[in-house]
Amino acid sequence: MERRAQLMQEGESFGPFHDVAPDAVECMAETQQREQDMLAALMGVLDLAREGRTEKEHHVGLMDLKG
């Protein structure tokens, strides 16, 4: 993802006076945004799973004390 971001930055740095495949730069920007959104969503899922594991450990600890 970092490499794609560098390529996008390079393409955009040419400015509007250069005819540097503007459609390709736009497509790369859309793809980059979608992949960042997916990565953020996956990180959210992993955070929820981690919280669930911590909660379960707490519940198991409570059950062991009562048993």
Position 6 scores a pLDDT of: 78
Tens digits of residue pLDDT in 7-53: 777 767 766 645 667 777 788 889 889 999 999 999 999 999 999 99
Position 10 scores a pLDDT of: 76
pTM over 0.85: no
- Which residues, 6+ apart, have CB-to-CB distance to 31 below 8 Å? 4
Position 2 scores a pLDDT of: 74
15: left (phi over 0), alpha (psi -120 to 50) or beta: left
Position 53 scores a pLDDT of: 92
Position 50 scores a pLDDT of: 94
What residue segments make up the domains of the chain, in order of their start? Answer: 35-67
